[in-house]
Amino acid sequence: MAWLEVHDYSVKGWSEGADPSARARHYCSELERGAILFFPRPPFAFSEDHWKFLLSLKPSGSRLHKNVSYRPEADVLRGFDDHGSKALLHEIMRGYAADVRRFVCDFLAPYAGKFQMDYASFRPMEEEGRNLPLHKRNDLLHVDAFPSRPTRGARILRVFTNLNPTKARVWTVGERFPKLAEQFAERAGLERFTAQSRLVRGLRRGLGQLGMPVPDRAPYDRFMLHFHDWLKENAEFQNAAQGKERIEFPPAATWLVFTDGVPHAALSGQFAMEQTFILPLGALVAPEAAPIRVLERISGRTMS
């Protein structure tokens, strides 16, 4: 199960087949269990003029950083310094985030009103041959965890669009989280994170109650950050061909994936848009497939 092309949903909405709510639920379930849902074209409005403008932004210019981020809830744009076209880029990112949000609320109706909008990003860099520190490399298989935004078990759903007019964006993906964790979580030191949970968290809470600035990360968040780095460091895991699949997302392709549950690596490709959503466990159709539940089954401990 690498990817699944969606045929019954278009930019106009649900178009074929009966019972859109059952179809929406089916796609949520597939996604949560590790499918990558694929559309050959964006299933939401995307203006040709905006698209051309984005492609005109050259990453070599100092005004454009390696990654432009947009925070929909605060309406803040970061990573772009050209005052002449900053307003236009801001408007494009704001419109894009709103369009993807509408699309997700309709296509994945069980999630409507239950998710938190995380950042959107515009990625103008060529992924192949980037010179990045090991833990920041995108071309090594990993599952996502955000150092600055602990989720306490909520899931990370991302919607990507390949804006490149001629080149595919190439990923490899690995065995989904249940198999990945079964094979590697204990070797990565899962027990260390759960064993600390009561004592360390009690201490942290106590210090927090005394007004001291101590981050109160759940064992889940601490393990997932560690696991992200551990997987990138692990040559045996990175080199194992078993269960690895290569996917080429052609120009204009749009795909949805829970990146906390599908190990992925971006090997090549330039110019992509992406919007992230945080889905609380209560919004999920298949919460038993969530990484936190998988880790709790393996460890026998609560991790939130």
Residues that bind Fe ion (CB under 5 A): 144
Shortest distance in whole angstroms from residue 262 CB to Fe ion: 9
Q: Checking phi first, is residue 262 left (phi over 0); if not, alpha (psi -120 to 50) or beta? A: beta
| Distance in angstroms (rounded) separating the CA atoms of residues 178 and 262 | 10
Nearest to 299 by CA among 209, 194, 228: 194
- Tell me whether residue 92 or residue 188 sits nearer to Fe ion (CB atom): 188
- Tell me whether residue 135 or residue 201 sits nearer to Fe ion (CB atom): 135
Please identify the residue of the shown chain whose CB is closest to the bound Fe ion: 144
Burial class (CB in 10 A: 0-12, 13-18, 19+), 12: exposed
| Distance in angstroms (rounded) separating the CA atoms of residues 172 and 242 | 12
Nearest to 274 by CA among 249, 299, 302, 298: 249
- Tell me whether residue 144 or residue 221 sits nearer to Fe ion (CB atom): 144
Nearest to 121 by CA among 165, 80, 61: 80
Q: DSSP alpha helices (H): ranges in 119-218?
A: 177-184, 190-209
- The residues near 244 (Cβ < 8 Å, ≥ 6 apart) are 141, 172, 173, 174
- Tell me whether residue 24 or residue 269 sits nearer to Fe ion (CB atom): 269
Shortest distance in whole angstroms from residue 157 CB to Fe ion: 12
| Distance in angstroms (rounded) separating the CA atoms of residues 158 and 180 | 20
- Tell me whether residue 158 or residue 217 sits nearer to Fe ion (CB atom): 158
Q: DSSP alpha helices (H): ranges in the chain?
A: 20-32, 48-56, 83-107, 177-184, 190-209, 219-233, 235-239, 291-299
- Tell me whether residue 138 or residue 197 sits nearer to Fe ion (CB atom): 138
- Tell me whether residue 144 or residue 175 sits nearer to Fe ion (CB atom): 144
- The residues near 130 (Cβ < 8 Å, ≥ 6 apart) are 137, 138, 139
